[in-house]
Structures are given as C-alpha cells and as structure tokens.
Amino acid sequence: MAEVKLMKGNEAFAEAAIRVGSDAYFGYPITPQSEVIEYLMTEQPHMRTGMVVLQAESEVAAINMVYGAAGAGKKVLTSSSSPGISLKLEGISYMAGAELPAVILNVVRGGPGLGTIQPSQADYFQAVKGGGHGDYKMLVLAPSSVQEMADFVEDAFDVAFRYRNPVMILSDGVIGQMMEKVVFKPQQDRWTEEEIIKMNGSWATTGKTADRERNIITSLNMRSDAMEIHNHKLQAKYKLMEENEVRFEEFMCDDAEYIMVAYGSSARIAQKTLDIARSKGIKVGLLRPITLFPYPTKKIQEYVNNGVKGFLSVEMSAGQMVEDVRLAVNGKAEVEHYGRNGGIVPSPTEVLNALETQIIK
Amino acid sequence: MDLKDIIKPENLVYTKTKNMTDKELSYCPGCGHGTAHMITMEAVEELGITEKTIGVAPVGCSVLAYEFMNVDMQQAAHGRAPAVATALSRVMPEKVIFTYQGDGDLAAIGTAETIHACNRGENIVIIFVNNGIYGMTGGQMAPTTLMGMKSSTSPYGRTAEQNGNPLKMTELVAQLEGTYNVSRHSVHTFKNVKKAKKAIKKAFQDAMDKKGTQFVEIVSNCNSGWKMSPVKSNEWMEEHMFAYYPLGQIKKDGVLVNNSNQN
Amino acid sequence: MSKVIGAIVVDIDKCKGCELCVVACPTDVIDMTKEVNAKGYAYAYMINPEACTGCSHCATVCPDGVITVYRTKKATA
C-alpha cells in the first residue's frame, strides 16, 4: 500500500532504501546527509527486512564495505557529502573496474576542501567525468525533489544491476534537508540467496560450489592487452547507457527562443525564473537533465537545430555543467553560465537578471 | 624396493591440496607466501568449508592470491581487505570470510580498517604475512621493517628518528576486545608449518562459531627484498625477525596469554 | 632402521630451485640437479632415495607445492 509522509530528502532516501529491499547500507556521518544513517539506525531495518546497517570507521572503509557486499551480488548503498565522496572515489573506481553495482548518494555541500555545510552543485565534474582514476563512468541521477530522493533509489538499483556499474544519486544540501510530501511504494522483499545465485551467480562471490568455477571480483589485470579489452568492454557499456538511459524533463521548450539548463535544486529555482520571465513575455524554456551522465546532448542539439538562440546553464558552481551544454551546442548558439558558489543558493530574480543581461542582451 | 612399488596412489601421503589451483605461483623462489597459501587452503579443505569460504586478497605480493586459492575471492583496494571482509561477513553471516594481507597492506595503509574490524569483533579470519618489507614494489621500507634494516627507502638503515619504530600490529590488536585468537607463527620449518596450520584451522573454526576476529600473523621471509638466498633469508629471519616478533600465542579464546609462556 | 620407505615426485617444471626442501629433509635425501628446468632453475631430486621415509617435511615446506610424497612399509627380504 502506498503511504504518504512528510519528511526530509535524506530521510526519504533512507526509507526508500529499506523499501526497495536493500541488503545493506554502510556509511559515515557528514553534514548535510547524516540523517540518512540516523534514520536507518532509528528504523532498525534488520527488524523490518533483515537489512544490514553499519556505521563504518571512515568513508574509505564504508565504500570498501559496499565493494564487498556488492561483490557478493547484494543490493547495497552508501551516502556521503562532498569531502566524504572524495574519499570514496578510490573505491568507486575499483567498483567500476570490477563492474560492481551499487548506489551512492552525494548530498553536495560547498567546497573545495572542508568548505561549508551549505548546498552546492560543485561536484558535477567529480560525478559525471569519472572523479576517481582511470577511464570510467557512473550513471548519475539528479533528484530535484524529496519524492525523487525516494524514487531514484529503485531506478538507481535497476540500472546499477542492469549494467553492473555503480550509480550515483547527485543531490545537494537543499534537496537533502528540505521537507516535502513523499509517496512511498509498498515494501519489496529482499532477494533470497537462491534469487541472488540465479541472477548474479555468474560473477558474485556467493561461495564456490562444486558445479561452477570460482568467482573472482577484481579490477586488476597484469596484462595490458587484456586490460585494454576490459576497457573497451567498459566503454561499450557506457555507450549503451548513452543510447538508452538519458532522462530529462522539459518546461515550455516548444516555442522557446532561449533555454535555461538546470538540474537538482537549481532546476526548482529556474522554474520560478521561468514563470516570471514568461509573465514578462520572454520566450524562455527550461531543460532539466535528470541523468547527468548520460547527458541529454541530443536534446540540446535539437533545440539548436530548431533555432534556439541562447542557453543559460544555472548551477550552484563556478560553471561545470555549462561545459556539457557547450559541447552539445558546439558553437552554434550563445552559451553562458550563471551560478553562486560556496553554499549560496541563487534567487529566481538573480537568474532572471542573468538571463536578460548575459543571453538576451 | 623399487620406486614404482612406492609411488602408487594407495601410498600417497602428501600432495598439493585441491583447494589450490594448478596455476604456478607468482612468488619468488622460497617465498613463504606459497606455504602460507597452502596451509590456509588445506585448513579450509579439512574443515569441509570450501563451498562457503570467501577470501579477500590485498594489494601487494599476494594481490594475485585469487589466482591460486580455489575459492570465491575478492581483490580489495590497498589496505581495505578488512572492510571488504566486514561487509561479506555481515551480509552473508552463514559464510566463512578471511583476508590474506601483507605488512604494508595491513599495518600501514590499512591500519584503520584492521583495527576497527578487530575492534568490532567481526567474525573473520585475518592472515597477516609479515616479511618486514614491501616486496611487490621492489623492497621499500614497511612499518614492520626492523630497526637498522636497509631497504630501498631506508638505504642507510631504518632509524627511529627518521622512520619511527617497527610496528607490532599483532600485539596491538590482541588488546582489543573484539579479537578472540591472536598468534604469531612462521612457515619455514616442518614443525612451524604444522603449528601455523593448526592455528589457522582453529581460527576458521572459531570464526565460523561467531567468536570474534581471528588474527594469525605469519612472520616470513622476502629473499628478493632482503637480497639473500631463500635458505639464508630463513636463517636471518630466525635470528633477527623472531627476536623482535617472537612466535607464539598472544591471545587464546579471548584471553591474553602471559608473555612468559611464549615459545 | 626405519620400517617404512618413502619416495617423492617433484613437478620439475614448477620447481623454483629454492632448496628449502634440501634443508628440511631429516635424512638428506634431496639435492639439486646440475641441469636446469625450462625456467632456468635447478630442481630437487632424490640423490639418496633409500633414505627417504616419506615424512613429508620437504613437501610441507615447499612454497610451490611441487612435491608429492608416497610412503609404504618396507618389503621384507
């Protein structure tokens, strides 16, 4: 039975994690996402579903716990905020190399360094361009509501297991901390050992039975020729994601002369800007990428081909996603960035002003 | 008696365990890693737990342990094997989980993961091979390198001023409530191999019985890193390594053993 | 005199010539060959097979598991 609750984005993520039948969560406290582990510890999911929740000694340990559980074919999650995600990147790179499915939430705060505890979107590059070492990609989902903080858990596991690849939910301090109405789907059962062996038995370390060869989880290959082949396989997988997994939302783009591109909480601000601009007669639209990798490049190219004159990338960063907009536009229209840094959330009128001065002119 | 009358299947008394693969070991001639692998896998075979044993290989010389141990294995990031093993044990409590780690992996980069897994009393077996050097990367100083010992990063010998003192991880983890059996062994003689194997077997049994973390150190040689012949390196190990890392039981069944009882 | 007799079989291709078995053997059965195997290592062989008691000391300390040991009662003459 669906249930409606009022809760924080972080709590919605945690509740959804239990409801999708996750096997384990490993985390470490950091503001502004500590509610995730606090909620899980309070809810005692081991009583509800048998789900394991463990507070690790560090983000580094937590992501390697995720590696271990994912390698056993289990549904496993972790969450952190920017500095903690930096620590997790080594493990994420190993997971991408070893092709392990898992869900990682980043509730982004202002950086660099210890930065602030206020919301930011300055981890875009880190999330969509790889972040850790080596040629790898994560599929990145960007929620812009508490509802999506819950819904994307199931979506993320779905693609993570389909591609055997880590998936990041790239949120921010606004979405993690704000309270909204959220509708939950009914509780799903955790996978049984038989189901795990049936689905993931070809690779997961569930114990070497007499009927099969041993399973090995590793990202190492001592031979460069074999490593290149492995890289080609990974790249083919990312290409498949680009073909099949792009998600976005459009607002009033049909007749738009100008388009704002914004994700997460910036998309909510840009929506308000859109209302004001439209009431002033400005023909502007809003594209909200839901997947940041793969990126809605083709959609942006369509806009260009349909005569859109300019794009404004609105991000709480010094301008990161704007590079992907520029790559898509490829010099055929004006592309500008507007953003605030360090934990400052821009207002809709600020964004409108940027639109009028930087793009429309 | 003719050899062919002796070499018959019914007279077989020792052969490599089936829990090891046929793959040729990547270790240098005379390296204790091979023997440590062998007895670990023999213990698993003798306990009849091959199907439910999952191992975690480290970064270092034994990074390829998964090529040789014929059980399901995961290769962990440098130092993180105890975290990986923690998760495996937590999500599959019915399985038997072990890590196999060297001194660089366990006592340097993985110190935090080692101590916290032991402190939580994770029901895992940790096999710690200590040869006082980084072998894989070409003989650099390890946290366990002896005082005065030369390595490629302590070319004039280790000093306390420059490098601090050799770290006795095994004595350290024995102090933690979560550890159940903690002991130090070697695998360079028949007698020592037998003792080490007995300890490993008990460790697996007690981990299976959920008694806490089982920690078995194996002081070993690194003839390439130490720049000695295998036989000489074992003699040097007896004289120098055992003096600082004395063999014996440090904690048994959850109780610290009196140091004077050590052999 | 021992009532048992043993014998070892060395996997020549996998032997790395470390000589730990030579040291481990309590009855001086084993020596290293003068010739080398495909990898260039001298390998273990029984120079003194009559003295082998099949005690397995050599195989137990062999890091590469290349020694297989057999043991039987001595045939009475």
Q: How far apart are the first and last CA of chain A?
A: 52
Would you give the end-to-end CA distance of chain B in angstroms? 41
> What is the per-residue pLDDT across A305-337, written as a single tens digit (0 to 9) for each?
999 999 999 999 999 999 999 999 999 999 999
Q: How confident is the model over A224-245, as a mean pLDDT?
A: 98
Query: Are B230 and C19 within 8 A, CB to CB?
Result: yes
Residue C1 clears pLDDT 80, i.e. is over it: no
**Least CA distance to C70: which residue of chain B?**
B12
Per-residue model confidence (pLDDT) at position B101: 98
Q: Does domain B25-256 have CATH number 3.40.50.970?
A: yes
pLDDT of B30 higher than 60: yes
In this prediction, residue A329 carries a pLDDT of 98
- Tell me the CA distances in angstroms from B138 to B61, B141, B156, one per residue in order: 10, 10, 16
Q: How confident is the model at residue C77 (pLDDT cuts 50, 70, 90)?
A: low
State the nearest Cα–Cα gap between B160 and chain C, in angstroms: 34
Taking only the tens place, the pLDDT of each residue in A27-58 is 999 999 999 999 999 999 999 999 999 999 99
Answer whether residue C20 shows pLDDT above 70: yes
Cα–Cα dist B134/B184, whole Å? 19
Number of alpha carbons in the 13 Å side-chain half-sphere of residue A324: 23
Within 8 A by CB and 6+ apart from A8, the residues are A35, A146, A176, A177, A178, A179
Give residue-wise pLDDT tens across range B208-249: 999 999 999 999 999 999 999 999 999 999 999 999 999 999
What residue spans define the domains of chain C?
Answer: 4-72
Show contacts of A157-161: CB within 8 Å, 24+ apart.
Answer: A157/A20, A157/A22, A157/A75, A157/A101, A157/A103, A159/A241, A159/A245, A160/A101, A160/A102, A160/A103, A161/A75, A161/A101, A161/A199, A161/A200
- Mean per-residue pLDDT over chain A, rounded: 97
CA distances from A245 to A92, A159, A242, A248, A267 (A): 20, 8, 6, 10, 20
What does the block give as tokens for A61? 């340990």
**Is pLDDT above 50 for B83?**
yes
Give residue-wise pLDDT tens across range A116-164.
Answer: 999 999 999 999 998 999 999 999 999 999 999 999 999 999 999 999 9
pLDDT of res. A2 = 76
pLDDT at A172: 97
| Residue range B47-68, pLDDT digits in tens | 999 999 999 999 999 999 999 9
B134-187 pLDDT tens trace? 999 999 999 999 999 999 999 999 999 999 999 999 999 999 999 999 999 999
Q: Calculate the average pLDDT of chain B.
A: 96
Domains of chain A: 3-184 (3.40.50.970), 248-360 (3.40.50.920)
Question: What is the arithmetic mean of pLDDT over A260-264?
Answer: 98
pLDDT band at A1 (very low <50, low <70, confident <90, very high): low
Reported as type and span, the H/E element at residue B153 is none
Subunits close to C (at least 3 CB pairs below 8 A) = B
What is the CATH architecture of C4-72?
2-Layer Sandwich (3.30)
Q: Do B80 and A64 touch (CB under 8 A)?
A: yes
Average of pLDDT values for C11-36? 97
Taking residues B34-52, report their average pLDDT: 98
* CB contact residues (below 8 A), chain B span 97-156, against chain A: 112-113, 116
Q: How far away is chain B from the Cα of A3, in angstroms, using its nearest Cα?
A: 28
Residue B263 has pLDDT above 50, yes or no: no
Q: Any chain B CB within 8 A of the CB of A91?
A: yes
Percent of chain A clearing pLDDT 90 (strictly above) = 99
Tell me what ipTM this predicted complex has: 0.96
Q: In this structure, what token pair is assigned to residue C76?
A: 């009475």
